[in-house]
Structure 1
Amino acid sequence: MIYQNVVSAVVRALAAETINSAGGCSVEPRVQAGKLKGEISGKDAALLADSIVHRLLHAQLSPRHWNALVAKYSTHKGRKVDSIGRLVAIVTTPAPKRFTQQAVLVWAVPQQTKGIQRKVPQFKAPEPRENEREGQWDWRNKAAAAAAERANKHARAVAEVKPGEMIVLAESNYDMTNWDSQGLTERTYQRWNRAIKGALEAMVNEALVEAQHMLEAIGVLFGEAA
């Protein structure tokens, strides 16, 4: 299997894990069984190569570089979410944690077109009942507010999941004013966001350079093979 470039190799290798997960088992035993019968070819051979590259990169790249590639390129929901969380923990930024979490998340899950974007229904608690005596309806008002919040939380969670295990975020996730409650200037938020994205892209570029060296060494990149 010869890859056109390092990005193509990384994308295919990460996609191989998603394909394996969808199939319910690892591709390698199935392909190896076919090889013993002289049947390995075509898609099976390509998928085996992708799986081997996946294993190589996972084993040889540093955790930060591996997580940067998974967060940016993987379509495996569980792996992507895990890597996003790990990147949040290592990004150096003056931004508060909530802002950093959202900045990394929307970097890893870019905004979709309006035709794909999901709207999240917003539930409002009923108007609070007025107390005729002190504390009479406080418990009921609090319960109604809590129920509305639970419904909104569930709606947001549902909006983040797309069939096929891909992540689709609600529009509100891309509004930086929702990432922090301090009410700072947009200029500050933009500066924080640019710095976080810059750090993440730098990690991806470093990871791709390392991956290219590994793949060139085993002769599976187009230029090297030629």
Structure 2
Amino acid sequence: MTGIYRDVLPAIVRVLAADVIDNTAKQSWQKLIERKVDGGFRSLLSAQDQFEYDCLLHALLHRELSPAEWDVLHARYSTHYERRGKAIERLAQQVKSPAPTRFFECAVATWAIPRMKGKDGKRSTSVIVLPAKWYDINNWDDEARPDSTRSRWRRDIRKALDRLEEQAMVHVTEILAREKLLEAS
């Protein structure tokens, strides 16, 4: 069987959500809509089979990705509040920066949980958002260093995190291709 996942990013999101997916019985119309949205080979699988593929891939990725790659994916894409928070904390230990601790932690958190458009940065009550003051770089440094210094620190931290995320995405893509789990284009 091939082509369980249409693309890498949706596969990552489904896999990270596998621990928290509500596996309770659904109405028959809900199952039809979910299958129709997914399309492809996946639409031929039952909801339970889809969930089991997600769980198996979760275990495979957890085993094969480095701890930093696993954490960057959890920090950026997980829907589980606690796991995402812990991944952000661990990720803050993976990247080096001359920035003070508070600045660095705020930069990592706002990279992982970017500000969203909408009222108070919320589109839904279930979306993880930080308080507005977290996104203000002026609140990250008590010593009022120059804007150029703070901007450079933030840029360098984000570049390091982006590189780590890209590395993790490439690794996941290689695993999905090797296991023939991506739909052929």
Same fold? TM cut 0.5: yes
For 1:7, the aligned partner's letter is L
1:199 aligned to 152, 156, 160, which one? 160
For 2:174, the aligned partner's letter is H
Residue of structure 2 equivalent to 1:11: 13
Residue of structure 1 equivalent to 2:177: 216
| 2:130 alignment partner, SS class | coil
For 1:88, the aligned partner's letter is A
> Highest CA radius of gyration, 1 or 2?
1
Runs in 1 of length 4+ with deviation above 3 angstroms? none
For 1:92, the aligned partner's letter is K
User: Offset at 1:23?
Assistant: 5.4
For 1:187, the aligned partner's letter is S
For 1:184, the aligned partner's letter is R
Residue of structure 2 equivalent to 1:169: 130
For 2:151, the aligned partner's letter is Q
User: Offset at 1:58?
Assistant: 0.7
For 2:139 and 2:120, the matched residues in 1 are separated by: 21
Per-residue CA deviation, residues 57-83 of structure 1 (Å, 9 max, x unaligned), is 011100000001110111111110000
Residue of structure 2 equivalent to 1:42: 46
- In structure 2, the CA distance between the partners of 1:173 and 1:70, relative to structure 1 (3 Å rule), is same
Per-residue CA deviation, residues 105-132 of structure 1 (Å, 9 max, x unaligned), is 01111112241437xxxxxxxxxxxxxx
For 1:69, the aligned partner's letter is L
Alpha-carbon RMSD: 2.0
Residue of structure 2 equivalent to 1:82: 86
Of 166-175 and 61-70, more deviation after overlay is shown by: 166-175
Residue of structure 2 equivalent to 1:124: none
Percent identity over the alignment is 36
2:109 aligned to 105, 122, 132, which one? 105
Unaligned runs of 5+ in 2: 25-43
TM-score normalized by structure 2?
0.81
| 2:145 alignment partner, SS class | coil
8 Å contact from structure 2 (residues 92, 108) kept in 1: yes
- In structure 2, the CA distance between the partners of 1:167 and 1:5, relative to structure 1 (3 Å rule), is same
Unaligned runs of 5+ in 1: 25-39, 119-161
| 2:69 alignment partner, SS class | helix
TM-score normalized by structure 1?
0.67
For 1:220 and 1:197, the matched residues in 2 are separated by: 30
